[in-house]
Amino acid sequence: MIVVVCAPPNIDCDAYASSLAEQRSLRLLQDPTRSLCESYGFQTLYDMPEALQGDCRRRLIQEHLGALESEDDAVFDHNVVPWLADWMRWHWSSTTTESWEGVLAIAKDCAQRYAKIHHISSGPQRDYDGYSWLDARNSRQVAALFSYLYEELGVRDRVQSVDL
């Protein structure tokens, strides 16, 4: 069973994801975005030139699909919903319609592999870590897109709301 945790960027769901994996005796897979940014010498996706940012966003989704294909049972502390919502909020104007259709097709393939999506809308605030963008307005705007994306990706019925 593949379980994913979905939360806006200012909510700290690390302890929840770890606990969920431990309770279910599943492996916890952590978000690779920060490491990918650092591998290119950047602190965040937003610091990258637009073309590289788009390439990295696509790469994350493609590699996530690969991880999903190789795992039967795991908890992921990340998933395509917040990635796409962030993309729509911050990188939308640099994305062609053709490119977005391709991204969305891969994202749908990813999302169809999720057995459960633990949607966290409130909880402890993430501490500053030099990477996460903690702005509450940004988090609300990104989170507002989650509901749309659950429908678009065809996974609304897999969403379980959790308050921490």
- pLDDT of 129-159, one tens digit each? 888 878 899 999 999 999 999 999 999 999 9
Sequence letter at residue 31: D
- Each domain of the chain, given as residue ranges in start order, spans 2-163
Please provide the distance, in angstroms rounded to a whole number, between the alpha carbons at the two ends of the chain.
22
How many whole angstroms separate alpha carbon 57 and alpha carbon 59? 5
Neighbours of 157 (CB within 10 A): 7
How many whole angstroms separate alpha carbon 35 and alpha carbon 120? 24
Q: What CATH superfamily classification does 2-163 receive?
A: P-loop containing nucleotide triphosphate hydrolases (3.40.50.300)
Whether 45 and 89 have beta carbons less than 8 Å apart is answered as no
Bridge-based pairing of strands 159-163 and 116-122 is parallel
Long-range pairs for 140-145 at CB < 8 Å and ≥24 separation? 140/8, 141/89, 142/8, 142/9, 142/82, 142/85, 142/86, 142/89, 143/8, 143/85, 145/84, 145/85, 145/88, 145/89
- pLDDT of 120-136, one tens digit each? 999 999 988 888 878 89
How high is the mean pLDDT of the chain?
A: 96
pLDDT tens for the chain, 164 residues: list them: 999 999 999 999 999 999 999 999 999 999 999 999 999 999 999 999 999 999 999 999 999 999 999 999 999 999 999 999 999 999 999 999 999 999 999 999 999 999 999 999 999 999 888 888 788 999 999 999 999 999 999 999 999 999 88
